[in-house]
Copies of this chain bind each other. A is one copy, B any other.
């Protein structure tokens, strides 16, 4: 597939290296704030990428210098009552509609996690609210030192419900710090993010960070896609399950996957001291 297959108003998709896709949130005039159409499109893009044999790793970033994303476009959401279920009948009927809406919204962001290929998110500038939901659904997080992170939801009166609170306790971060930033909505920067482990790389500016991400994606893109996709799936599956469950799952998973030609190709290449190449997947 080519970039032409990925035409969206608020996203730019390009292919900066073999097997690497670069997705850019593209509404810089509004600090890349999300309209409903945007998260619906985000899902569509990541579903496409998930099955696109020309893609093995994805980098996700935001357009412009000022923000990865300022989060949900709250004014737009308020206007159509999407958050609070305004004008939706009695409390129970409103609740049913709000729940449907949250589940749909979650499903769109979870598309990043379900994407069979690893996703590297590069954050910079303002990275509020939904920015966290998005980066926590991805696999590897990088940022710039000037990134202004904030789990902003308590400031607009709600508990973050698109994934931040469900994924943070499984992200290997100190829980006392997690509660601090979730309950106070205070800003923190890239240095703090790397110190606690929220990101695994922090760079001086966006250009360097994206370059680094694309480089990492290129490395991953040269590995066996069978190995890479299995690794993503098995790590994700192990969260919130016992070690026993995890072990049994990977045994069933690899019962098929080890029959791949990639193992033989990799071993042969190893013996011949050359880089292996792998079939599309």
Contact surface of A with B, Cβ cutoff 8 Å: 51, 74, 78, 83-85, 89-96, 98-100, 102-103, 106, 110, 113, 116, 118, 139-141, 153-161, 163, 165-180, 182-186, 196-201, 216, 219-220, 223-224, 226-236, 238-267, 270, 276, 278-279, 281
If A95-B259, A165-B238, A182-B235 are given as contacts, then 19 extra A-B residue pairs at C-beta distance below 8 Å, sorted by A number, are A83-B263, A91-B91, A92-B256, A92-B261, A118-B179, A118-B183, A155-B223, A156-B263, A156-B267, A157-B265, A158-B224, A158-B258, A159-B253, A160-B231, A161-B254, A166-B245, A169-B172, A183-B228, A185-B223
A180 to B167, CA, bound (A): 18
Q: Is the CB of A223 within 8 A of B154?
A: yes
Give the interface SS of chain A, mostly helix, strand, loop or mixed: helix
Contacts of A232 in B (CB 8 A): 179, 183
Contacts of A110 in B (CB 8 A): 247
A110 to B159, CA, bound (A): 22
A6 to B162, CA, bound (A): 32
Q: Is the CB of A174 within 8 A of B197?
A: yes
Q: Is the CB of B168 within 8 A of A235?
A: yes
* A196 nearest CB across to chain B (Å): 7
Q: Is the CB of B238 within 8 A of A166?
A: yes
Q: Is the CB of B184 within 8 A of A85?
A: no
Q: Is the CB of B243 within 8 A of A239?
A: yes
A118 to B253, CA, bound (A): 23
Considering the complex, give the chain B residue whose CB is closest to the CB of A106. Answer: B247
Q: Is the CB of A92 within 8 A of B166?
A: no
Q: Which of B92, B236, B270, B278 contacts A259 (CB 8 A)?
A: B92
Contacts of A165 in B (CB 8 A): 231, 234-235, 238, 246, 250
Q: Is the CB of A259 within 8 A of B166?
A: no
Q: Is the CB of B180 within 8 A of A198?
A: no
* Max chain B Cβ within 10 angstroms of own Cβ: one of A99, A163, A239, A243: A243
Contacts of A263 in B (CB 8 A): 83-84, 156-158
Q: Which 4 A-B pairs have the closest CB atoms?
A: A174-B197, A166-B246, A159-B230, A256-B256
A243 to B245, CA, bound (A): 13
Q: Is the CB of B158 within 8 A of A261?
A: no
